[in-house]
Structure 1
Amino acid sequence: MTNPSKNSFVMFAAFFIGALLNYGFNVIMGWMLTPAQFGMLGVSASFLLIFSLFVTSAFPLTTTKFISGKYDTTTKHRVFKSALIANIGIAVLLSIVFYVGYTTDIIDLGANYNLLVICILLATIFTAMSIIYISILQGTFRFKSFALIGIITIFAKLMSGVILVKMGFGALGAVLSFPISMFIGLSLAILLTRDFTFWKTKGWADSNVYFFALPMFFGTLGTTLLMNIDIIGVKFLTEVALSDALSGYYRAALILAQLPIFIVGALMGVLFPYISKHQEDDRYASKSIKYGALFILPLALVIAAIPEAFILLMFPSEYIASAPALSIVAIGMGFLVMIMVFTNIFQARNVPRIPAIILPFAVIIEIILLVVLVPSYGIVGAAGSTAIACSIGCIVLAGLYVHTYKLKINHLTIVKVLVSFCILLLVLYTLPHTGLFPLVGSMTLSGIIYLVVLASFGLLTEEDTSIFLAGMPNHKAITPIAEMTSRVIRKLNRV
């Protein structure tokens, strides 16, 4: 088994920096804009994410799979060219449909969104182009360059957004940072992939590439809609006078609840090409599920347990009204973490039709629940709709994964995991967690206790430790700590 830990370390380091910058952007915008303007930013961002989904889910993942697979150079070049042209065409078509829908009031956002819509369309087109170029870096395992583009793009969004809002452009300035940053990311991606001389190869990809891309699209479409359609429901299913403000409050809850999503994105961004290249080795898929469940899912539970502490840490006190919604939607994002893991595994192992069939049904369930619950319960109803739909999607995908690969369920392991979660939350909840230092201290202490429990239960093994530590820098100050950690885990495993 090839150890992807070093690449994972690079991706997680990039994630940490990118998350700080991205959260910095959202938090700063929350302070600089009014709740109504912040809501307009949230609605615009959700539309952009949904449109971006059409150009980031089908052909980019397909391109990554073919480039990382055992195919000849000619095939890889043809797949790239076909994917690039197809993605641009999809982006242009989406832009036309959305603009016509907006100008004819089919999508009734209001006159305040005139220029925001243009920004969304430009960002969608730039995203369609850049993501295909970036898939070259991911498919050729150049994760440092892959991570660099992500960091620079988010930094550009932060700086341009702050400058434009400071200049008095309000929500328009914040949304205008999207196409600016994506254009910068596109330019950098073209520069870093200039060695991939696809233009020297004639011809186009075979039709099987397009047939493979279609279920890839629907599978990823489901995950993105589950994550973003709820705020659009808040916008359109609440009173017009309050819709932007409520969207702003719910946006604050989503920003915090989606932290685990960014982490699992970094994890699967590394493991997807490995699973694709070594399909016969089930260990990559198993490790993905294990690490997602034991180390990313608990973060969602922590956020759900103490929502007020996270809101007061990141946003003005007026956003405390979103705490009940955050507590519920964070649980939904925990289920979505595992949905993303199972979806990527199915896609990497050439079974993309399973999530492509299941997740659209989960989205339909969410939409029905939004229509029923949001008019009566507002943002809490939106959070509940997301949590229920994600839980159903996760359970069904997990069951199909077990059935497809004929796995045996270890009920004792499930009990151990649940007990570990309960201990983590119990310790955290009993400690002080209001304010930066109490929250960090409580999370650190409860996290250490949680890891000790995992090791004592045999859920965290010495092999896991070696995989994690292999990605750490080889430094004289780090090596003794790594060796001591391995010894401690070994002793706890014997308990």
Structure 2
Amino acid sequence: QTLAAGGLPPAIAKYVAEYNAVNDYDMARQTIYTALKIMVFLGLFLGVLMIFVVAPWLANSYLHKPLALVPLQIVGLITPFSVILGAFRGAFQGVYKMEYILYTRAIEQLFMILFATAFVLIGLSTVGALWGTVIGYSLAAFSSVYIFKVYMPKYIPKASPDFVFTTKQQLRLAGTLVKFSIPVIITAIAEMLIYNICTIVMGKFLTLDAVGFFAAADPIARLPLMISISVATTILPASSEAFKVKDIPTLQRYVNESYKYSLLFVVPMCVGLALFAVPTLRVLYFAKPEYVAGASALAILAIGMTFYSIFSISTSIVQGIGNPRIPMYILIFGSVTTGLLCWLLVPSMGIAGGALGTTIGCLLMMIPVVYFVFKLTKAKFQLLPVIKITLASLIMGIFALFIPKTALWLFPGIIACMIVYFFALILVKFFTKEDIASLRQLSSKFGPVSTIANKILNFVERIEFRNK
């Protein structure tokens, strides 16, 4: 699935954004169609490979668990739908219509959860859950085709009557897309290893129950990545467009603002998850109280996700300005390092060792890619906002230490921490007039919520700038 859908969507987003920047809509549309042909071929080929070759080898030779065969084969059925989704999401990303990506993700997740839950409840167990996943992806794929056909002509008009694109030109365009996407695909595979290498290593050393506890904690720890992935999705075409038209000041502003606003939300979320790991697992897995054993892994992984959030945003910037090989090399290094650390730490520390190995690996990846971002864009690193966000998160964390770590106190504790963090930001004078203006513009898109948001921003403005 990663091979089929991991590399070309960023390439689609990059070139669609660049062609749109110079009003070459015919080439923007042709980029989507050419990439879609490549991806459908890859999706079908690799799906068949997964079902008939990879799944039997994994189940019987590596894991020595024949029961895993059918679930792994069902995963292969997801791939053709996944690549269609990837192609059109790349197109939506290229014209900054992130809400279209959101719609397809909502359909994917909603129907995946509904059908997976229904199939599990009628007794189909893991196989039922995976069939629910297949249905979720397939419906999302159909929705992406519908959105593209009905709504995208507003942003990428239909082909000009005199537009002719020969087979030779199409092959040349395919070569350009593949050339850009190969390092991105390798990056995606390495990223997949970062996500899963702990589980693979644990399968060698630990019981299935222990692996299950880690697998239960891992997706919760990655919740803050929703923020960074959203920023990364937007920053790739934006940085491509600014770089294409040589608007370096705008590119530098994008760099600094993407780090600043993602850290503003990601850091307190990661700190909160680390401190409330036990009650979070108790609430989410109330029917399986033994899953609290994954709390140590959740607390450590949550900190690692701060580093990985910065890494994912940096990767999109570097790819957007035409340097996809840099994150590829860094991710290969990171995946190998993470694998080695997990191999060393898991036997002695269990799932906490796997989480620690992943966290250290994320830190070692973050440092070089951030260096390259500032080197290539010549943007100046703004240390002061980072210090202020860290201080505000520290104040919130100290306050959270005094909250009882029980299921009953989880939601009141989260609300209290949000309030403390908000006032801590005011205390350290984080907000500038530009921040308030940007946040007010953003809040205007949320309907009735914008009224409340404006009142809060007015309150901040009165406190922050009362003496100015």
From 6, 26, 32, the counterpart of 1:74 = 26
Q: Deviations over 1:176-214 (max 9, x none)?
A: 112111111111111221256689965412532222112
Q: Deviations over 1:335-364 (max 9, x none)?
A: 111111111111122222221111110111
Are 1:210 and 2:178 matched, yes or no?
yes
| Alignment check: 8 A CA contact 1:62 1:212 kept | yes
| Alignment check: 8 A CA contact 1:338 1:394 kept | yes
Which stretch has the larger CA shift, 423-432 or 405-414?
405-414
Residues 1:257 and 1:471: Cα distance change in structure 2 (over 3 Å): same
Are 1:293 and 2:263 matched, yes or no?
yes
Q: Which residue number corresponds to residue 100 of structure 1? A: 53
TM-score (norm 2): 0.86
Q: Which amino acid in structure 2 is aligned with residue 73 of structure 1?
A: Y
CA distance in 1, matches of 2:365, 2:164: 44
Are 1:64 and 2:32 matched, yes or no?
no
Q: Deviations over 1:347-387 (max 9, x none)?
A: 12222222111111011101111222223322112111101
From 90, 93, 112, the counterpart of 1:135 = 90
Once the two structures are TM-superposed, the CA of residue 65 in structure 1 deviates from its matched residue by: 1.6
SS of 1:459 mapped into structure 2? coil
CA distance in 2, matches of 1:401, 1:133: 28
CA distance in 2, matches of 1:453, 1:183: 45
Once the two structures are TM-superposed, the CA of residue 114 in structure 1 deviates from its matched residue by: 2.3
| Alignment check: 8 A CA contact 1:257 1:329 kept | yes
Q: Deviations over 1:445-479 (max 9, x none)?
A: 22222222223333232322332232335799656
| Alignment check: 8 A CA contact 1:102 1:109 kept | no
Are 1:276 and 2:246 matched, yes or no?
no
CA distance in 1, matches of 2:452, 2:164: 50
Number of matched pairs = 439
Are 1:161 and 2:128 matched, yes or no?
no
Once the two structures are TM-superposed, the CA of residue 156 in structure 1 deviates from its matched residue by: 0.8
Which stretch has the larger CA shift, 484-493 or 159-168?
484-493
1:72-471 aligned within 5 A: 72-98=24-50, 99-104=52-57, 105-194=60-149, 202-203=166-167, 204=170, 205=173, 207-235=175-203, 237-239=204-206, 242-243=207-208, 245-279=209-243, 280=247, 281=250, 282-315=252-285, 316-409=288-381, 411-436=383-408, 438-471=409-442
Once the two structures are TM-superposed, the CA of residue 253 in structure 1 deviates from its matched residue by: 0.8
1:456-495 aligned within 5 A: 456-473=427-444, 481-494=452-465
Once the two structures are TM-superposed, the CA of residue 409 in structure 1 deviates from its matched residue by: 4.3
Q: Deviations over 1:38-58 (max 9, x none)?
A: xxxxxxxxxxxxxx3223321
Once the two structures are TM-superposed, the CA of residue 162 in structure 1 deviates from its matched residue by: 1.2
Once the two structures are TM-superposed, the CA of residue 404 in structure 1 deviates from its matched residue by: 2.8
CA distance in 2, matches of 1:292, 1:90: 34
Report percent identity of matched pairs: 21
| Alignment check: 8 A CA contact 2:19 2:27 kept | no
Alignment RMSD, CA only? 2.6
Q: Which residue number corresponds to residue 54 of structure 1? A: 3
Once the two structures are TM-superposed, the CA of residue 393 in structure 1 deviates from its matched residue by: 0.6
| Alignment check: 8 A CA contact 2:263 2:386 kept | no
SS of 1:259 mapped into structure 2? coil
Which stretch has the larger CA shift, 220-229 or 369-378?
220-229
Q: Which residue number corresponds to residue 24 of structure 1? A: none
CA distance in 2, matches of 1:461, 1:264: 22
CA distance in 2, matches of 1:450, 1:189: 38
Residues 1:57 and 1:103: Cα distance change in structure 2 (over 3 Å): closer
| Alignment check: 8 A CA contact 2:267 2:390 kept | no
Q: Deviations over 1:67-113 (max 9, x none)?
A: 22235233223322332222233334433544424434444352112
| Alignment check: 8 A CA contact 1:260 1:299 kept | yes
Q: Which amino acid in structure 1 is aligned with residue 16 of structure 2?
A: I
Residues 1:483 and 1:188: Cα distance change in structure 2 (over 3 Å): closer
TM-score (norm 1): 0.81
CA distance in 1, matches of 2:124, 2:334: 38
In the alignment, structure 2 segments of 5+ residues that lack a partner are none
In the alignment, structure 1 segments of 5+ residues that lack a partner are 1-51
CA distance in 2, matches of 1:109, 1:288: 45
| Alignment check: 8 A CA contact 1:297 1:337 kept | no
| Alignment check: 8 A CA contact 1:223 1:359 kept | yes
Q: Which residue number corresponds to residue 14 of structure 1? A: none
| Alignment check: 8 A CA contact 1:297 1:335 kept | no
| Alignment check: 8 A CA contact 2:34 2:174 kept | no
Once the two structures are TM-superposed, the CA of residue 251 in structure 1 deviates from its matched residue by: 1.1
| Alignment check: 8 A CA contact 1:461 1:489 kept | no
| Alignment check: 8 A CA contact 1:78 1:202 kept | no
Q: Which amino acid in structure 2 is aligned with residue 300 of structure 1?
A: C
CA distance in 2, matches of 1:309, 1:68: 44
